[in-house]
Amino acid sequence: MMSQWGNRCFKALRYVLLGTTLVLTAACSSDRSMIDLKRFVLDMHKSTQPSVESLPKLAPIPAYTYAASSLPDPFSPENVFPSASSADTEPEPEPDPLEPDPTRLREHLEGFPLDALQLVGIMILEGKLQLIVVTPDGMIHKVAEGAYLGRNYGRITEIDLEARSVGLEEVVKGADGRWQKRTVSFLIGN
């Protein structure tokens, strides 16, 4: 149990601490110190002058008068979307005689590029030379002259038993957009 004298001391100590805290808080936030700080900042700004470069002189731009009112409007619908009946249309190009027939059913071996097909051998079946071809999926096919191989409409033109070679004529589109024939030959078994 605390004595009355200790209780009084404790209350007095509380009041002393509260008073000290109030005095210190008031001293730290006095307006006088803020006035001194503002005066110091103003004095510092007065003594330093910022240097600003002047803007460069711009050359005068001559005036331009647009005098194309007599010319046709480039944004008129006739100029943006020319009609098909205008006289300056290009004539229809002649049909390309080498263009492949789009209605012809493509053969199975036309689905593979030539470099993916393996030409493994030649056999004679019913008096005709047959080429033995292995596809990338491992299927074995036999084809004769006139059959199609590869994606470029390649047609077998010759199977040479003695030279063990195959001649192929492909039809490819040239740089000018026209179809061109290209001859390719392969050695069998290589």
Per-block mean pLDDT, blocks of 10 residues, the chain (190 long): 71 83 70 75 78 87 82 81 64 83 92 93 91 94 94 93 92 90 88
User: Of the candidates 120, 157, 122, which has an alpha carbon nearest to the alpha carbon of residue 139?
Assistant: 120
Q: Which two tokens stand for residue 150?
A: 């590869």
pLDDT for res 120: 93
| Class level of CATH domain 109-187 | mainly beta
pLDDT for res 110: 94
pLDDT for res 2: 59
For the chain, domain boundaries: 109-187
Report pLDDT digits (tens) over 37-50: 788 888 887 777 77
CA distance 124 to 131: 9
- In total, the chain counts a number of residues equal to 190
pLDDT for res 132: 94
Report pLDDT digits (tens) over 45-74: 777 777 788 888 989 988 888 777 788 888
pLDDT for res 10: 80
183: left (phi over 0), alpha (psi -120 to 50) or beta: beta
Are the C-beta atoms of 131 and 118 separated by less than 8 Å? no
